[in-house]
Structure 1
């Protein structure tokens, strides 16, 4: 298990959100964000501030979800006001989570409908966007390896492998084991196919997919090894694969790579 205590998620959420804002405060508002080339520093600051605001609203109004007619609030126009807005929304979300029981029911876009989901997801949201800010400013500092290890599991199990309940994942019986070199964790992934029809849009899905699974008790078809920070950044397309090692069946690994070689929001 890679999970952290909820108090630790909250500590990381606060620290990484503050670090993001501190770095961006000294940055050119028009500087480009390497991990999101269409964004400027101002876009990144406004985006993460908006994320903090949205989830503060959700936790405060639990268990109700967003209104059917919800639209994204307008952000402040000036960079200084964006910095203040981000600080205010960080404080709101941290306070809302600190006052909540992680087991309480709360809306999320996931099948997990608890406040605990927001603790974890927003800690990782802050971590990756903190990395965005540091890459934008050229001031990259190490990612916490324990949090990054959990980030690898979350990316594989939730962000890439967490298919909606209206669809079906059918495994192929081919497995990739992701070994986190500096923390000793291993995450198993099965390749397969996701099929289903989105009940809202009517869009039909029939595509290659992955699912995080328990150790199947057999040898993996392929193994990916690397430090936690490098694996987490690579999965989020914020870093290269120069410190990652691949062994085993290359066809299996290439199929896995195609599934995760796409942007996740």
Structure 2
């Protein structure tokens, strides 16, 4: 299991948020973010500020749904930094004092404060890396959080149990992701998810994956240190140091399921 204790997520969230803020405070506003090319440094700062404001509202109003009104973006860099300081401190304080099993809204199947604790620690860590890449000063991701980040990507962000309004059809391939420094091995089944979203009417036909339990033999194995694999799956670094062995067809299916950039 990669899942961390609630206190660990809260500590990571606070550290990663502070580092994110400190790096961007020294980065000129117009510098582009190489991993999010549509954004400059101020866009990145506003993005995480708005995200942390949103989830602070969700946790504070639990178990009610998400807020209907959003704040306006501050006009200046100084005002952006002040807004980030306020909402980040509030979110960190809230998540550090609420039990992870308390009911709270989320967009995922898991409707608990624990989901937000986990998701926001990863959100802050990845955007901290974005900020450092923007400034040309990247530092490693913490191994324990990165290992859980790989699991969260495979279980939630790129995959997971498909909703009842669609159907997942496996393609017959199993991919093992092995984290060489932490000893974790995660196995996923790739395939396609097809269905019509009853809320929006949108028809989906997308590559998908579902994690499976057990020490199953895999068609392809992807391996590397947790920090490298996590950043690579988030499309924040290239594949140097990532090992691939086994079926090329299975690897193509895996990359098809995790290739969509996330922000």
Displacement of 1:172 after TM fit?
3.0
Displacement of 1:165 after TM fit?
4.5
Contact 2:233 2:258 in 1 (8 A): yes
Deviations 1:86-116 (A, max 9, x none): 1111111011112211101100000100000
Secondary structure at the residue paired with 2:39?
strand
Secondary structure at the residue paired with 1:36?
coil
Assess, with a 3 A threshold, how the Cα gap between structure 1 residues 192 and 30 changes in structure 2: closer, same or farther: same
Contact 2:191 2:253 in 1 (8 A): no
Deviations 1:16-43 (A, max 9, x none): 0000000000001110001100100000
| Aligned match of 1:185 | 184
**Of residues 65, 83, 86 in structure 2, which corresponds to 1:85?**
83
Deviations 1:67-96 (A, max 9, x none): 5xx243211111011111111111110111
Distance in 2, matches of 1:208 and 1:86, equals: 36
After superposition, the CA RMSD in angstroms is 1.2
Distance in 1, matches of 2:225 and 2:100, equals: 29
TM-score normalised according to structure 1 size: 0.96
| Aligned match of 1:52 | 52
Residues 1-265 of structure 1 aligned to structure 2 (within 5 Å)? 1-67=1-67, 70-162=68-160, 163-215=162-214, 217-265=215-263
Secondary structure at the residue paired with 1:200?
coil
Specify every segment of 5 or more residues in structure 2 that has no aligned partner in the other structure, as ranges: none
TM-score normalised according to structure 2 size: 0.96
